[in-house]
């Protein structure tokens, strides 16, 4: 218990820095902030258009736009795309959004599932769920996935060279589950269990004649983390698929224990803070801010579980950089995005974003470099009832960043 209290003290101090950043960044935006409606009514939704409307018009001839208690809004999306880490890839995604209580008084639950097969014989099968029970009394969060995932590593720290990259192949089973109970309005706390298992790990064509950073760190054919989680969550957003208001703040302390099968005793902390400002009363222009802090604490974290670009739970950090471009003991990440609805019927939009990430130079030093990223993207309304967009972004980073296209169902953050 004393260890948990100590680590949450460290977590809180780091969180204060992120909160100060958002308070400062939000002052200017809040001066001109308009208070938009908390929920679109059925008449407003009837004026909007999405891809489901297009399908219904062609094949069915009608659609119910009433937001109902217990209704499930299904947003399937087959796609093909390309990123440097996957090559060409075929993706089948499905997002379910629904309310377990009165839609005017409850948070929106969602289940996002997808299956990806890529040019490089990668397989990603995942299901992520955030379920809010009636009255928002409990929030159940589950992130389960299987990955066969040959991908690139570039070494440790914030000063690695893109030319040093080589392939690591592995299989990965991830089972993360937490159950949070309501303590006060929008405030939750609870416990969970994280299980991470990497196996059949191989280095493919590493640089000849040198000892790789993975080998120096301690290469093993399997890596495992297993242990309890303590989590505190504040979430005042109404819609998680397409947030237009409120705060999201999550603090997580995870302890992996050798007694539970982990590769040694080690821990990690994550602070995730997001703020959304409606810059117009009709919510057609949203400023979104995101800060993410990920630290290794209390032991030697396995190499593939160290903080790394694009390895947050939703693989969304570091647009403009190839996944895994930087890896280190500690990571801090900031991003801002301006979201603009372009068409009068709400079907098409665009975003402009900028971000910055920093890692320790090596596993023993302080942060020494900042890697900026920026880019733009298009938005196509997939389901207006849930607010779900198809998001296609193109990002740029430092020379040799290896960035490119990113595709999401639902906003990046």
- Stated as kind and residue range, the H or E segment containing 83 is strand 72-83
Count the domains in the chain: 1
Provide the CATH number for the domain around residue 225: 2.40.160.50
In the chain, how long is the greatest CA-to-CA distance? 68
Please tell me whether residue 53 adopts helix, strand or coil conformation.
Answer: helix
Query: Beta partners for 15?
Result: none
Nearest to 355 by CA among 286, 409, 313, 413: 413
pLDDT at 255: 97
How crowded is residue 20: how many other Cβ atoms within 10 Å of its Cβ? 10
- Beta strand pairing status for 371-383 and 388-396? antiparallel
- Beta strand pairing status for 123-132 and 247-256? unpaired
Please give the span between the terminal C-alpha atoms of the chain, in angstroms, as a whole number. 32
Residue 282 lies in domain:
2-409
Both structure tokens of 166:
């080589």
Q: What is the C-alpha separation between 4 and 9, in angstroms, rounded?
A: 9
Q: What is the C-alpha separation between 346 and 268, in angstroms, rounded?
A: 41
pLDDT at 405: 82
Nearest to 81 by CA among 121, 113, 116: 116
How crowded is residue 342: how many other Cβ atoms within 10 Å of its Cβ? 12
- Stated as kind and residue range, the H or E segment containing 217 is helix 213-218
pLDDT at 55: 63
pLDDT at 145: 96
Q: What is the mean pLDDT of each run of 10 residues along the chain (413 residues)?
A: 43 43 41 43 65 68 54 79 81 87 82 92 95 93 96 87 90 98 97 98 91 93 97 93 93 97 96 96 95 94 95 92 92 97 94 94 61 95 87 89 79 93
The backbone region for 127, taken as left when phi is positive above 0, alpha when psi lies in -120 to 50, beta otherwise, is beta
CA atoms 158, 160, 166, 168: torsion sign: negative
pLDDT at 78: 84
Both structure tokens of 69:
């208690």
pLDDT at 291: 98
Residues in the chain: 413
> 186-189 long-range contacts, Cβ below 8 Å, gap at least 24?
186/234, 186/235, 186/236, 186/247, 187/232, 187/233, 187/234, 188/139, 188/232, 188/233, 188/234, 188/235, 189/230, 189/231, 189/232, 189/233
How crowded is residue 200: how many other Cβ atoms within 10 Å of its Cβ? 11
pLDDT at 123: 96
């Amino acid at each position: 218990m004393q260890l948990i209290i100590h680590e949450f003290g460290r977590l809180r101090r780091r969180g204060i820095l992120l909160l100060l950043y958002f308070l400062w960044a939000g002052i200017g935006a809040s001066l001109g902030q308009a208070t938009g409606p908390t929920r679109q009514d059925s008449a407003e939704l009837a004026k909007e258009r999405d891809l489901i409307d297009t399908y219904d018009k062609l094949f069915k001839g009608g659609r119910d736009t009433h937001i109902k208690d217990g209704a499930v809004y299904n947003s399937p999306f087959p796609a093909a795309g390309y990123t440097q880490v996957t090559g060409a890839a075929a993706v089948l995604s499905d997002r379910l959004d629904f309310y377990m209580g009165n839609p005017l008084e409850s948070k929106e639950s969602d289940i996002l599932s997808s299956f990806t097969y890529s040019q490089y014989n990668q397989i990603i099968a995942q299901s992520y769920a955030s379920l809010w029970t009636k009255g928002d009394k409990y929030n159940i969060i589950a992130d389960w996935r299987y990955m066969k995932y040959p991908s690139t590593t570039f070494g440790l720290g914030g000063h690695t060279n893109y030319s040093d990259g080589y392939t690591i192949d592995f299989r990965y089973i991830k089972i993360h589950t937490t159950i949070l109970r309501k303590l006060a309005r929008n405030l939750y706390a609870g416990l969970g269990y994280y299980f991470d298992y990497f196996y059949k790990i191989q280095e493919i064509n590493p640089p000849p004649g040198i000892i790789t950073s993975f080998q120096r760190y301690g290469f093993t054919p399997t890596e495992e983390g297993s242990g309890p989680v303590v989590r505190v969550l504040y979430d005042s957003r109404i819609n998680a698929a397409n947030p237009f208001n409120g705060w999201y703040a999550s603090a997580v302390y995870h302890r992996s224990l050798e007694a539970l099968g982990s590769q040694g005793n080690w821990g990690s902390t994550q602070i995730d803070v997001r703020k959304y400002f409606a810059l117009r009363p009709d919510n057609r222009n949203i400023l979104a801010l995101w800060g993410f802090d990920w630290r290794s604490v209390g032991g030697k974290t396995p190499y593939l579980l160290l903080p790394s670009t694009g390895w947050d739970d939703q693989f969304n950090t570091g647009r403009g950089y190839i996944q895994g471009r930087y890896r280190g003991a500690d990571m801090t990440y900031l991003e801002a995005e301006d979201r603009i609805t372009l068409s009068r019927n709400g079907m098409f939009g665009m975003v402009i974003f900028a971000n910055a990430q920093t890692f320790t130079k090596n596993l023993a030093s302080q942060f020494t470099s900042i890697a900026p990223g920026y880019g733009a993207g298009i938005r196509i309304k997939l389901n207006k009832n849930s607010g779900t967009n198809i998001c296609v972004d193109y990002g740029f980073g430092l020379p040799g960043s290896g960035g490119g296209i990113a595709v999401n169902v639902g906003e990046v953050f």
